[in-house]
Amino acid sequence: MFDTLKSRIFQGQQFIKDIERAPMREQFRGFPKFCGANCNACEKCLDVCPTGALSLYPLTIDMGKCTFCGACKNVCKAGAIDFSNYYKLSATKRESLIITEGVQEADFERTAIEVRAEITSMFSRSLKLRQVSAGGCNGCEMELNACSNANFDMGRFGIDFVASPRHADGIVITGPITENMAYALEDCYKSTPEPKIVILCGACAISGGVFQKSTKLNREFLEKYPIDLYIAGCPVHPLTFINGVLGFIRGKKK
Amino acid sequence: MKNWIKTKNNERLDLALIPVLPVYELREEIIELKKRPIAFFGKDWGKGYVRLFVVLADDEQGELLVSSTIFDATMREYESITQVIPAFHMFEREFYEQFGIKPLNHPWLKPVRHKQNDYEFFEMEGEEVHEVAVGPIHAGVIEPGHFRFMCHGESVYHLEIMLGYQNRGVENLMLEAPSNQLAESIAGDSVIAYNTAYSQVMEALREIKISNKAELIRKAALEMERIAIHIGDMGAISGDIAYSMGAAVFGVTRTLVINTLLEWSGSRFARGLVTVGGVNFDLPQSLIKSTLKTLDKVETDVVRMTKTMLKNSTVMSRLEKTGTVSAERAEEIGLVGMAARASGYPLDSRFDFQDKWVAELELKQKKFKAKGDVNSRFKIRYKEIKQSISMVRKILAKLEEFANEEILTSSCVAYKKDSFVVSIVEGWRGEVVHVGMTDGFGNLSCYKIKDPSFNNWYGLALAVRNNGISDFPLCNKSFNLSYAGFDL
């Protein structure tokens, strides 16, 4: 037992105190940063983008499709495209994830998440989520697991993943929604008691990502049921996820 | 050996050199050679013909043996190999599912990735016999799959695993629009392994030689991935036996490693690092220094926590003699990678199919006292973490010699025509095998992927036999197999 206590003492404090202002390493590829004036119209970036997230004239990146691989930035010798380490990449409307030049991080943070009174009054202190991987590659799944580890400790905000949809207030979908998972996903949604929310987590869930052209997908679920929150990333960083959900259920700190 | 053509890992082979044997002769050869299958797949050969390619691994010689057979439109069956060599069971099922050519007398010719509604489960009858069905959606935040336990009281008689829920048609997508990003997303927990295998296939098909520096950075990243996931798994095993201290400490220690990868590449799982032609990011001296410092801390923390944990008798009582797979069984059913090594079947493609760096850096395969239980799979992770840390140190030291080299070689070269390339990369689970083929026009005509989980899922089914059903999560975590990598 003394060894166990010693291990505990050696670890010290590991949790991130202020999750909303947690620093991010500068290398992280997050919010797109454009300098359209530098663009020399070589269009090489369009060829290397694996998901068609990028479009030109004006320079636009759809964060719902973007895998944040940085291929466009690497190929752009003119320096028109970059990514900042800003990690709050969630929105309540699909269109809000489409970023053009001139949309600044601060604007995005202010407008992307629309706070609804019925959500904040119901879930602001406790939100239990059921996660469904529907073709997810285990990238987003590992990051969602990391949300509950000793660093990020999402449980302290009352947000937890639960084992059954019957215990859940909402579902989190990862993966491009394969044909073979379509039934189970809908079943899970129907088993979740009202009121409930649906969160799409990662480029695959939001747009199909690198699998969008696959014939083995069945994304009808997304047309049938309302989606409440889109969280961008490939995979979604734990800080992106926690801040996205917190912003949605609590609104901004005054 | 005129019936087989020998090749090496990442070497381009002329398609015309691959022998075509009558199917009965190929079958006899395979049975006689007693080598391990690493690829066994069909390809549409036009006009109703199907060509079946077989790649066997000669682990002692570090060589690959390739041969093939052609089925015409009237030949719809052949005598299965599985009845003699069980390690072929999944390969033959996959071939049957994709091409409808039936391996006769296959002991369980069930669906692999499709038609889950037609799956016929084994059934058991008798007093106190019952079945437990779990999934496809599991209790934790993990991928989907269906498990059916046949239980006698509390103990599991047999487990059947039905997968396919994750099927995204990756092999077809690879032909239409191959990309590094797609390769990284096949199994998102083995980003470096998959992306390296894909890049090596593409480079061999184009005969591009990448720089020493790029090779070393890839190699270091592969070991970093192994360190990170192994630590995470040790935390998850701790969690499954309710040893919270282990879960917490291994969890935060893993964060240190993946945050280092974030510094290397801008992604916690090193997405975007490896690319066809080399790597996208250089490792400057400052980063090498900080990485080495982090690794020192990681090593200290992992050693301290593991020693504390393994001294604890309540921990040991859960890990020891749980979920045992013997060495004979492992070899018989064709286990690979870390799970095989933990059972005393010492396959490691890093050494069996070694590149020049193994000799230059004097890397040695370490012996492991394997018992095949959860404890062995826990301990082998611990040993491999320590080994990988020492490998990363050596690789990073070696990098200095090549400081002036480029990290990227131009990959704007057409594919060589009529070529066949096999690339094997030892990911943290085991061998990730990619096979690429081009046709006479120089177009990519076939892309085949084998995840180590393709071999190892059956190992999990054997491991839980005669264990209490409540030990299943622990057994499952000790293998930590990929659903997405299997389902493709």
Looking at B240-348, which runs of residues are DSSP E strands? 274-275, 278-279
B280 Cβ under 8 Å from any chain A Cβ: yes
Looking at A85-164, which runs of residues are DSSP E strands? 90-91, 98-100, 127-133, 159-161
Q: Which residue has the tokens 């037992």?
A: A1
Is residue B274 within 8 A of residue B192, CB to CB? The reply is yes
Q: Which CATH number fits domain A117-250: 3.90.1150.10, 2.40.50.100, 3.40.50.10860, 3.40.50.12280?
A: 3.40.50.12280
Give pLDDT, residue B204: 93
Give pLDDT, residue A143: 94
More confident residue, B389 or A40: B389
- Measuring CA to CA, how many Å separate B105 from each of B84, B121, B461? 10, 18, 22
By C-alpha distance, the chain A residue nearest B135 is A184
Q: Which of B473, B247, B145, B138 is nearest to A130 (CA)?
A: B138
CB count within 10 Å of CB A183 equals 15
Give pLDDT, residue A41: 84
Give pLDDT, residue A254: 42
pLDDT, mean of residues A224-233? 94
pLDDT, tens digit, 9 for 90 and up, residues A162-190: 999 999 999 999 999 999 999 999 999 99
pLDDT, mean of residues B1-8? 87
- H/E stretch holding A248: helix A238-250
- Which one of B180, B187, B265 has the shortest CB-CB distance to A138? B187
Handedness of CA A38, A42, A44, A49 (dihedral sign): positive
A92 Cβ under 8 Å from any chain B Cβ: no
Best to test chain B binding among A13, A144, A210 (most B CBs inside 10 Å): A210
Q: Which residue has the tokens 């409808």?
A: B100
* Tokens, residue B377: 């799979």
Asked whether the predicted pLDDT for residue A91 surpasses 80, the reply is: yes
pLDDT, mean of residues B272-281? 92
pLDDT, tens digit, 9 for 90 and up, residues A123-152: 989 999 999 999 999 999 999 999 999 889
B299 burial via Cβ count (<10 Å: 0-12, 13-18, 19+)? middle
Asked whether the predicted pLDDT for residue A253 surpasses 60, the reply is: no
* Tokens, residue B133: 């069905």
Is residue B5 within 8 A of residue B55, CB to CB? The reply is no
Is residue A172 within 8 A of residue A129, CB to CB? The reply is yes
Best to test chain A binding among B112, B179, B185, B231 (most A CBs inside 10 Å): B185
Smallest Cα distance from A115 to chain B, Å: 27
Give pLDDT, residue B180: 93
pLDDT, mean of residues B433-444? 92
B255 Cβ under 8 Å from any chain A Cβ: yes
Neighboring chain A residues of B307 at a CB cutoff of 8 Å: 3
Question: What is the residue-averaged pLDDT of chain B?
Answer: 92
- Whether A69 sits inside 8 A of B180 (CB atoms) is yes
DSSP characters over B92-121? HHHHHHHH--EEET-TT---SSS-GGG---
Q: Which of B361, B331, B348, B375 is nearest to B429 (CA)?
A: B348
B283 Cβ under 8 Å from any chain A Cβ: no
Place A101 in a pLDDT band, splitting at 50, 70 and 90: confident
Give pLDDT, residue A224: 93
Give pLDDT, residue B247: 92
Q: B371-408 burial, b for 16+ CB within 10 Å, e for fewer?
A: bbbbbbbbbbbbbbbbbbbebbbbbbebbeebeebebb
Neighboring chain A residues of B140 at a CB cutoff of 8 Å: 145, 161, 163
Give pLDDT, residue A252: 65
> How far is B176 from A235, CA to CA, in rounded Å?
23
Q: Which of B192, B207, B219 is nearest to B357 (CA)?
A: B219
* Tokens, residue B367: 């012996």
- Calculate the CA dihedral of residues B370, B373, B378, B384 and round it to 10 degrees: 30
Q: Which residue has the tokens 């890990």?
A: B319
Place B50 in a pLDDT band, splitting at 50, 70 and 90: very high
pLDDT, tens digit, 9 for 90 and up, residues B65-103: 999 999 998 989 999 999 999 999 999 999 999 999 999
Domains annotated for chain B, with CATH where assigned, are 5-104 (3.30.460.80), 174-453 (1.10.645.10)
By C-alpha distance, the chain A residue nearest B178 is A50
pLDDT, tens digit, 9 for 90 and up, residues B330-370: 999 999 999 999 999 999 999 999 999 998 888 888 888 88
Give pLDDT, residue B89: 93
- Whether B272 sits inside 8 A of A10 (CB atoms) is no
Smallest Cα distance from A121 to chain B, Å: 27
DSSP characters over A5-34? HHHHHHH---S-S-GGG----TT---SEEE
Of all residues in chain A, the percent with pLDDT exceeding 70 is: 99
Smallest Cα distance from B166 to chain A, Å: 4
* Tokens, residue A6: 């010693």
Is residue B300 within 8 A of residue A11, CB to CB? The reply is no
pTM, full prediction: 0.94
- Partners of B41 in the beta sheet? B53
Handedness of CA A66, B172, B417, B29 (dihedral sign): positive
Place B451 in a pLDDT band, splitting at 50, 70 and 90: very high
pLDDT, mean of residues B286-290? 93
Asked whether the predicted pLDDT for residue B53 surpasses 90, the reply is: yes
Place B413 in a pLDDT band, splitting at 50, 70 and 90: confident
B172 Cβ under 8 Å from any chain A Cβ: yes
Question: What is the residue-averaged pLDDT of chain A?
Answer: 90
Give pLDDT, residue B350: 92
